[in-house]
Structure 1
Amino acid sequence: MPTFQRRFSIVQKLIASYAVVIFLTTAALVFALLGLYSQNRTAKEIARTDLFVISATYRLRESLSAQDRFAGRYLILKSDEFKDLFNQRQSEFMTILGELGRRGNDQPFRDLVASYERYRQATESIFATGNGDPLAAKKDSDEVAARIDAISALRRALLDQKLAEADRRESATVRLALILAFSGFILALTVASLTVHSISTAITKLKKGMHRIAEGDFDYDPQLPAGDEIGALAGDFVRMGKKLKELEQMSLDASPLTRLPGNIAIERVLNRRLQSGEPFAVCYADLDNFKAFNDHYGYIKASEVIKLTAELIHDTVRQMAGGDAFVGHVGGDDFVMVVASDKGGPVCEHVITRFDDFIRQHYSAEDLAKGAIEGVDRYGVPRTFPIMSISIAVVICSREEFASAVDIAKAAADIKDLLKSTPGSNYLINRRKGKR
C-alpha cells in the first residue's frame, strides 16, 4: 500500500483527491466531491453508529450471561457476594443500554428495555426472597437475549445496505469521472480510486473481523494500518478480541469444584502485582494428611472438604483483606491467597482457627477420640495419620526481590517444606513462624 495511505487520515486523503480534481476541471470536482464526501460520511456513520451498536449488543449479551450466572449461584449458595456481583453487572448493563438508547430510541430498543425490566423484577424477587422462580427469570432472560439478537441482526442488515450503497456510489463516481475527462483525469482518478478502495477494503475487513470475533476467533486481526479513523477502530477490535479471549481463558481455567481461579489467573495476578511495585503477601495453603482422609472416607467426602475449605478461605480473605485481595485454587488441596503485605499474618491466623474448628466436623467420633486415622502412605507403608491440618507458607513479595511468579512459587515451596516437619496447623512468614 502506498506510503500516503498509511500516514494520512481519511479526511486528509479526501482533501488531497479534491485538490487534484479542482486543478484539472471544475466539472469533475463537483461530482467527485459529492461522491467521495458520501463515502466518507458513510464510513464515519458506520464507525460511529453501526459498529458501536453491534459491539454494544455483544457486551449486553456477555453482561446478561454474567447476571444469569450470579443469580443462579445466589439461589444455590445464598451468598451476598453474588448479589453484589449481579448488581455490578446490572449497572454495567444499564450503562450500555443508555449508550445504545442515545444512538436511537426505536421500537426494538424500547422492546428490549421493557423485556429487561421484567427480567430485573424477576431477579429482584429472587434476591428479596432467596427462593424466587428461576424458571421465570430464565424465560425473561431468554427474551432479553432474543431482543438483543434482534437489534444486532437489524443493525447488521442496515450495515450491509450501507456497504452496498457505498459500493454503488463508488462505481458511479468512477464511471462519470472517466466520462467527463478521461485524458485529463488520470492522476485525479488514480488518487480518488486509491482512497475509495482503501475505505471499502477497510470496511470489508472490519466486517469480516466482526464475524470472526462473533464466531469465537478472538485472535483474528483485520491487519489494517494505523493512521486513520478506520485503522484506530481496527485496533479497538483487536483489543476487544484479546479481552474476550482473556475472559474465556479465565472461565476455562477456573476449578470446576471450587469455582476459584486456576493457575493462569494466579500467575497473571502475581505478575501484575509485581509490576505495580507495591509489596504484597502470597499465602500458599496446603492441607496436611489429606490423602489419608481421602483414602479413609472416600473421594466424595474429600471433595466436599476441598469445596468447603475453598469457601472458608475465600470468605475469610474477603472479610479480612478487602475486595482487592485474591484467592485461587492451584489444584487438589493447594490454595493461594494474595493480600496486602500487612494482612498475611492475620489472614493466616483466622484461616487456621476456622479450619481447625471446621475439619473436626468431618471426622467420625471414634476417629476424633483417637485423634488419628489408620492408613497407608504413598509408599504403601501402614501409618497412623493425625487429624487433618492446614499449613500456610507466606512470602512477602516485592519487585526488588522477585522477578516473576515462578520465583515466588519456588520461595513458597521452600517454606512449605519447612512447615511439613511441624505437626498441626501453622504458618510461616518467610523465616518467621506463627503457630496456632
Structure 2
Amino acid sequence: MSDSTKPLQTRTRFTLIQKLIVSYVAMLFLTTTALAFSVMGLYSLNRTAKEIAKTDLFIIDSANRLRESMLAQERIAGKYAILKSDEFKLLYSQRQSEFLAILGEIGQRDNNGLFRSLVARYDAYRKEIERAFAASTTEPLPAKKEADAVVSLIEDLSSSRQKLLGKKLAEADRREADTVKLTLFLAFSGFILAVTVAALNVHSISTSIRKLKKGMHRIAEGDFDYDPQIPIGDEIGALAEDFSRMGKKLKELEQISLDASPLTRLPGNIAIERVLNKLLQSGEPFAVCYADLDNFKAYNDRYGYIKASEVIKLTAELIHDTVRELAGGNAFVGHVGGDDFVMVVAAERGGSLCEAVIKRFDDFIRNHYSAEDLARGAIEGVDRYGVSRTFPIMSISVAVVISQQGEFTSAVQIAKAAADIKDLLKKSPGSNYLINRRRNPR
C-alpha cells in the first residue's frame, strides 16, 4: 500500500465511539420502528374493532330487531283484521314507531341503496296497512306481499353486512399478521445488529489488546522498533501510535543511558552530538560551553581516584544545577568524559552562565583540599612527562562557541573551534572563560 492512500483510510475509519453511536442509533431506529409499527397495527385493529362494533354489528343486530318488529306488525295487523279491536291499532302503532326508530339509527350509519329500497318498500307496506285500517274490511290484508318484500330486504341487509364484516375481519387478520411479522423482523434485525456489532467490537478490541500485549513483551525484550500493526483511526489505533512513539523514545533513552557516564549519569558523546546537530538544523543561534578542569591529574595523583571521582561527580552536579537555574529547562548538560563537560544554552546566556559556574566551582573546590595544601596554594606532583612540578589549586576553564546560522555545519566543527579556544585558555592561570576568541578573565 502506498503512503498516498493512508491519509484517506485514516479519514474514513470510524472511531470506537462513532462505531458505538452508529450501531446504537441503528438499533434504536429499528427498535423504534418496530414499536411504531406495533402501535400502528394495534391502533388500526382497535379502529377496525370500533368500526365493527359501531356499524357492522349494530346493523346486523338492528336488522334482526327490524325483522322481529316487522313480523310482529304482521301478526298484529292480522289479528286486527279478524277482531277489529282498536287495541291492535295502538299495538301496531307502537311497533311501527319502534321499526322506524331502528330504521333511522341504521340510516345514520349506512344509507346505501339497499337501505333506501328497504325504506321505500316499508313505506309502501305502511300505506297498505293504513288503508286497510281505514276501510275496516274483514278481507285479508293486501299488505302481505309488501311485508314479505320488506322482510326479504331486511335479510339482504343483514346478509350483506355479514359478508362485509367477514371481509373486514379477514383484512384485520391479515394486517395483524403483517404487523406481527414486520415487528418481529425489525426487532430480530435490531437484536442481530446488536450481537454483530458487539461481536465485532469485542473481536477488534481483544485482537488489538493482544497485539499491544505482544508489543509490550517485545519492547521488554529490547525490540524497541516493533510495530504492533494496528490500523490507525480509532482510539486503539491512536494508542498504538503512542505505543510506537513510546518504543522510539525508550530506544533513545536506552541509547542515552548506555552513552551516559556511569559516574555522573550525564548524557555522553552520542547525546551531545545529537543535540548539536539538531540545533544546527534548526538554524537558531546557541552557545556551546566546553568546561575543563585544570590540574585535575595532579589532584588525582595526590588524593587518589576515589576522591578525584567524587570531585568529578560533584562538579557535574554543580554544573547541572547552575544550568537549570540560569538557563532554563531547554538547556543541555553533557559529560564528554574525564574532567570535560559540555553546556548548550541560548546564545545570550553563555557569558552569565560561565561566570556563575566559575564562581561556584572556585568556592566549591577549596573544600576538597587539605588545609596544608590550601595554605601553600598548590600541591607537589608529577606531570604527564614524569617531571616533578608544583600544581596550583584546581580551576575550571570554559571555552564558549557561539553558533550563528550557517556558521557551522557539524558538531565536529564546533568541537574543533572549542578546542582552539581551550588551548588559549590553558595558557592563563586560574578559572576563566573565553567566548570565541575574546577572553574574559575572572
> Which TM class, normalised by the smaller chain length?
0.5 to 0.7
**Aligned counterpart for 1:375 among listed residues 372, 378, 381:** 381
Shift of 1:380: 1.9
**CA deviations over 1:15-47 (Å, ceiling 9, x no partner):** 9xxxxxxxxxx9xx9999667634542256x2x
Counterpart in the other structure of 2:354: 348
Q: Deviations over 1:351-383 (max 9, x none)?
A: 222222322332233333333222222222222
1:245 counterpart SS class: helix
Q: Verify: 1:42 aligned to 2:202, yes or no.
A: yes
Question: Contact 1:10/1:229 (CA < 8 Å) preserved in 2?
Answer: no
Give the corresponding residue for 1:291.
297
Contact in 2 for aligned 1:11/1:40 (Cα 8 Å): no
- The alpha-carbon deviation at position 215 of structure 1 amounts to 3.9
Provide Cα deviations, 1:109-166, integer angstroms capped at 9, x if missing partner: xxxxxxxxxxxxxxxxxxxxxxxxxxxxxxxxxxxxxxxxxxxxxxxxxxxxxx4xxx
Q: Which residue of 2 aligns with 1:362?
A: 368
| 2:437 paired with 1:277 | no
1:425–1:205 distance in 2 versus 1, CA, 3 Å? same
* 1:278 match: secondary structure: coil
How far apart in 2 are the matches of 1:306 and 1:236? 38
Within the candidate set 409, 428, 436, 1:430 is matched to 436
SS of the counterpart of 1:418?
A: helix
In the alignment, does 2:249 pair up with 1:243?
Answer: yes
Q: Name the counterpart of 1:330.
A: 336
What TM-score, normalized to structure 1?
0.53
Give 1:412 deviation, angstroms.
Answer: 1.3
Task: Write the distance in 2 (CA, Å) between the matches of 1:289 and 1:370.
Answer: 15
CA displacement at 1:295 relative to structure 2: 0.6
Q: How large is the Cα RMSD of the aligned pairs?
A: 3.6
Closer, same or farther: CA 35–262 of 1 in aligned 2, 3 Å:
same
Identify the residue that residue 318 of structure 2 maps to in structure 1. Answer: 312
Query: Match for residue 127 of structure 2?
Result: none
Between the aligned partners of 1:2 and 1:392, the Cα distance in structure 2 is 52
- Counterparts of 1:195-274 in structure 2, within 5 Å, are 205-223=211-229, 234-274=240-280
**Secondary structure in structure 2 of the residue aligned to 1:374:** strand
**What is the TM-score normalised by the length of structure 2?**
0.53
* Residue 428 of structure 1: how far off its partner (Å): 0.8
1:309-359 alpha-carbon deviations (Å, 9 max, x no partner): 222222322332233322222221111112221111111112222222322
Structure 2 distance, partners of 1:204, 1:354, is 54
Q: d(CA) in 2 for partners of 1:210 and 1:306?
A: 38
Percent identity, aligned pairs only? 76
From the superposition, tell whether residues 361 and 207 of structure 1 become closer, same or farther in structure 2 (CA, over 3 Å). Answer: closer
1:394 is displaced (CA, Å) by 0.2
Q: 1:406 is matched with which residue? A: 412
- For structure 1, the residue ranges without an aligned partner over 5 or more in a row are 16-25, 47-162, 164-199
Paired residues of 2:283 and 2:404 also in contact (CA < 8 A) = yes
Cα deviation code 1:225-271 (max 9, x no counterpart)? 76787666544332221112223333443333223333333233323
Contact 1:10 1:40 in 2 (8 A): no
The 1-side partners of 2:406 and 2:299 are apart by 41
Residues 1:365 and 1:324: Cα distance change in structure 2 (over 3 Å)? same
Unaligned runs of 5+ in 2: 23-184
Distance 1:326 1:233, change over 3 A: closer
Aligned residues: 270
Cα displacement (A) at 1:403: 2.3
